[in-house]
Chains A and B, each alone.
Chain A
Amino acid sequence: MTLNSNLLAPHTPTSREELWRFTPLAKLRGLHDLDVALSSRVSLGTSQTQAGVTLTIVDSLDAPQTSTTDDLVSMRVRELATKVLRVEISANTEVSAPIFLTRSVESLDPEVSRTEIRLGANSRATIVVENIGSMTLAEEIEIHLETGSNLTFVSLQEWENDAVHLGHHHAIIGKDATFTSTVITLGGTLVRLLPTVEYAGAGASAELSGIYFATSGQHLEHRIHVDHNLAHAKSRVNYKGALSGDKARTVWFGDVYIRANAEGTDTYEVNRNLLLSDGARADSVPNLEIETGEIVGAGHASTTGRFDDEQLFYLESRGIPANIARQLVIRGFFLEIVSKLGLPEIEERVMNRIEAELEKASV
């Protein structure tokens, strides 16, 4: 046996590695396994056309990735994806209607997909990635925000029950640019997403929110990484999850790294988990690493618990039956994030799906 001296060299990860110790590798259908071949295809697409929005499919050699990654599956995607979907928003353009990029495939053969999103200077857009159907997918989405641009990015995981999805969404946020990301993970048997952020100029701001709801047999994992690699940038992280049913499993990591040169950083991260039944397990690990004291603020919070009895008592004391009171509290728990999207049709769709899942789980 040889000692692997460089963990960053491509290799098949094992559950002994910190980044993979929570993930049920056997359920990945080989997405992580160097001995399993993965096909490459551009699985995202749209039927919309809008002024200021350009979609092209480019050769991966013409779309090199500048960011680094320590995620072994991300490395595989970068290596194996032959074509890249490039979405460009022209500079100084405000795209008023949301751009829907839809992935609807019915094949469980493992495959990779790469997408590149580029917002020109002072442009503004909303992009919704819809993941529906059944897939075994490893994907990379790289997002570049030029100076003063503003992107609302929504990633919807509305998969069928058998989907497996490993994803890395990396945003590089330019000077005075604003990145607002909402990750909504409801479907899939195993979903592991890595929303990561780095900054390219002062005044850059990232707001990363998400909700997830795991029912019996689902493993939903979110690992956020915010790299405050320069001064005067801001980040807010707010993820909320609920779990119901035997072996419902969620993992949340929130790594915020404030480098020595990142003076004037303003960051706060929070993760809240609501356990709706026995047999479910939520891991929640906020990490704040601070190398300079010259910051505006840095904080984190994490809670995992059952229903708040006082909330339920308050609602019930107004005549609301216990089961409806619980539904109201759960709805409100998620709505706090979903309603901020300002996309009523998505809000309704997501809340309906949550309600259907709640009904199935008989909460």
Chain B
Amino acid sequence: MSTLEIKNLQVAVSTDEGMKQILRGVDLTIKSGETHAIMGPNGSGKSTLAYSIAGHPKYTITGGSVFLDGADVLEMSVDERAKAGLFLAMQYPVEVPGVSVSNFLRTAATAIRGEAPKVRTWVGEVKEAMAALNMDPAFAERSVNEGFSGGEKKRHEILQMELLKPKIAILDETDSGLDVDALRIVSEGVNRVKDSNDIGVMLITHYTRILRYIKPDFVHVFAAGRIVEEGGAELADKLEEKGYAEYISA
């Protein structure tokens, strides 16, 4: 049983005009097995929340705390956060030329597990996970994210989630740029990995479409750098109908 505890998190980013406050006090607790949808208009700070928890150097924490099972996440380096059990599926996964997917996955698994996976079981493990996501085995020999379609990039993110088995996964706009078929495959992948590993999920999205496939236990509406309303899955239906207008004008 794991718990990610975000308290009064305040984050700024430096711009040409100086420091700009993005998050203005975020409180959120995610436990194993729970799915929390973070919904909000563009520019409300959803992705900033994801990236500051993962430790992107662009963001400066100006207040608050993030704890994972009692350990201070904000004191950890980026790789330490992953080793502690955090995973961020990125909206725009980065290309790494010349580094093959298989080498990347194995290096990451070695780092996360603390020892190199046994070659024989590892090959089978990767193949199985790729098959489950409808990924061509030839994929493993391509350079990380280079020349991948939008759908391939997102599947590759979920493949990593499956192999690295985090405690808490943050999915940042995983639905963006996916057609219906790809969305279904990726969502099924998320559900499968979540159920078999009892992962807590923070699902960041602008649209309610993905919530038809991944059922949230909680929905949080994000606006102007904080959570402005919370509820169950029914809150998503309301957003589907009425949009974010009332939160933006408020």
Contact = CB atoms under 8 A, between A and B. Distances in A.
Interface of A: 308-311, 313-322, 324-325, 328-329, 331-336, 339
Nearest to B83: A319
Contact of A334 (B78, B88, B98, B144): B98
Contacts of B57: 309, 313
The number of chain B residues touching the other chain, given as a range, is 20 to 34
B111 interface: yes
A315 B112 CA distance: 12
A329 B99 CA distance: 7
A320 B108 contact: yes
A336 B98 contact: yes
Nearest to B160: A318
Given A311-B96, A319-B112, A331-B99, A324 B107 contact: yes
Given A309-B57, A313-B57, A318 B108 contact: yes
A42 B90 CA distance: 58
B77 interface: yes
Contacts of A309: 57
B98 A319 contact: no
Given A313-B57, A316-B77, A317-B54, A335 B82 contact: no
A336 B112 CA distance: 26
A336 B164 contact: no
Contacts of B240: none
A334 B99 CA distance: 10
Q: Which of B98, B103, B107, B164 has the most chain A CB atoms inside 10 A of its CB?
A: B98
B93 interface: yes
Interface of B: 54-57, 77-79, 81-83, 87-88, 90, 93-99, 103-104, 107-108, 111-112, 143-144, 160, 164
15 contacts: A314-B93, A314-B94, A317-B78, A317-B88, A318-B164, A319-B111, A319-B112, A319-B164, A328-B96, A328-B107, A331-B99, A332-B96, A333-B98, A336-B97, A336-B98
A317 B92 CA distance: 14
B172 to A, nearest CB: 11
Contacts of B93: 314
A336 B143 CA distance: 9
A331 B97 CA distance: 9
Contacts of A310: 94
Contacts of B90: 314, 317
A321 B114 CA distance: 12
A125 B107 CA distance: 37
Contact of B96 (A315, A317, A321): A315
A319 B115 CA distance: 12
A320 B95 CA distance: 16
A336 B144 CA distance: 12
B126 to A, nearest CB: 14
A328 B56 contact: no
Nearest to A323: B79
A278 to B, nearest CB: 19
Contact of A321 (B54, B55, B94, B111): B111
A318 B104 CA distance: 9
A244 B99 CA distance: 21
B82 A317 contact: yes
B77 A322 contact: yes
Contact of A316 (B79, B103, B104): B79
Most buried by A among B57, B97, B143, B144: B97
* Of listed A328, A329, A331, A334, residue having the most chain B CB within 10 A: A328
Nearest to A335: B98
Contacts of B94: 308, 310-311, 313-314
B98 A318 contact: no
Contacts of B55: 316-317
A99 B78 CA distance: 47
A321 B160 CA distance: 17
B104 A315 contact: yes
Contacts of A324: 107, 111
Given A313-B56, A317-B55, A318-B112, A331 B98 contact: yes
Given A331-B98, A335-B98, 18 more contacts: A311-B94, A311-B95, A313-B78, A314-B144, A316-B55, A316-B79, A316-B82, A317-B55, A317-B78, A318-B82, A318-B111, A319-B82, A320-B79, A329-B99, A332-B96, A332-B97, A333-B97, A336-B97
Contact of A322 (B79, B99, B160): B79
